[in-house]
Amino acid sequence: MHGADSSRRAFYREFVKVVDASDVIIEVLDARDPAAYRSPDVERYVRAAGSNKKIILLLNKIGVHPFCLPRHGWPVHHERFSSVNIVVSRRRSVGI
């Protein structure tokens, strides 16, 4: 167990360095079940690290989701954060 504990501490040290050095943190979520892939601990740490830091929730696999999330919205996200929905699809040649 010593190796796993050491790896966790090393990961945490690197995580803190990245958050401290960043203005924006991108959290990649699977669009099929975004709530299951969110990390409240990471989001809480980033918000506590500085009011100027922003979190971008990036939905991956949006094309395989049964509903168009940007059209219908994502209620859990909209309740707590301001948001801008941008759809990018290589398959449909849409977006940036």
- pLDDT tens digits, 49-74: 988 888 888 877 766 655 544 544 55
User: In a 3-state reduction of DSSP, which class is residue 52?
Assistant: coil
Choice between 58 and 48, residue whose per-residue pLDDT is larger: 48
Give CA–CA dist 6/61, Å, rounded: 34
pTM beyond 0.85, yes or no: no
Choice between 35 and 45, residue whose per-residue pLDDT is larger: 45
Give CA–CA dist 21/67, Å, rounded: 36
Residue 69 buriedness (CB in 10 A; 0-12 / 13-18 / 19+):
middle
Cα distances (angstroms) measured from residue 90 to each of 39, 71, 87: 27, 18, 10
3-13 pLDDT tens trace: 778 999 999 99
24-36 pLDDT tens trace: 999 888 877 888 8
